[in-house]
Amino acid sequence: MSVPTSAGNGREAVDALITLLEEELALLRRLGDCLSEQTAAIVTGDTTKLSALQVEAEKVTAHLESVDHSRRELAAAQTGDDGEPLSLSALAGTLPERQARRLERVRRRLLDAHARAERARMTNQRLLHTALELTQTTLSAVVHAAMQTDTYGPAGGASCGLAPTLLINEDA
Please check whether residue 139 lies inside any domain of the structure: no
pLDDT computed for residue 120 by the predictor: 96
C-alpha distances in Å from residue 167, one per residue of 163, 170, 171: 11, 10, 11
Q: How many H-runs (helices) and E-runs (strands) does the chain carry?
A: 4, 0
Q: List 85's β-bridge partners, or say none.
A: 79
In the predicted structure, residue 8 carries a pLDDT above the cut 50: no
pLDDT tens-digit series, residues 26-55: 999 999 999 999 999 999 999 999 999 999
For residue 84, the 8-state DSSP code is P
pLDDT single digits (tens) 113-167: 999 999 999 999 999 999 999 999 999 888 888 787 655 555 545 545 555 555 5
Calculate the CA 117 to chain-centre distance. Answer: 6
Give residue 39's pLDDT: 96
If phi over 0 gives left and psi between -120 and 50 gives alpha, with beta otherwise, what is residue 153? left
Q: Do residues 67 and 27 touch, judged by C-beta distance below 8 A?
A: yes
* 147 within some domain: no
Domain around 101: 10-120
Q: How far apart are CA 41 and CA 7, in angstroms?
A: 45
Residue 168 lies in a domain: no
Whether the predicted pLDDT of 66 surpasses 90 = yes
Residue 158 lies in a domain: no
pLDDT digits (tens, 9 = 90+) for 68-97: 888 888 877 776 667 777 777 778 878 888
Q: Determine, yes or no, domain membership for 92.
A: yes
Whether 130 is covered by a domain: the verdict is no
State the chain's mean pLDDT as an integer.
82
The pLDDT of residue 11 is 77
- Maximum CA pair distance of the chain? 104
Nearest-angstrom CA–CA distance, 54 and 69:
22
Q: Residue 170 domain-assigned?
A: no
The identity of residue 115, as a single letter, is A
Give the number of domains in the chain: 1
| pLDDT of 109 above 70 | yes
Domain membership flag for residue 133 = no
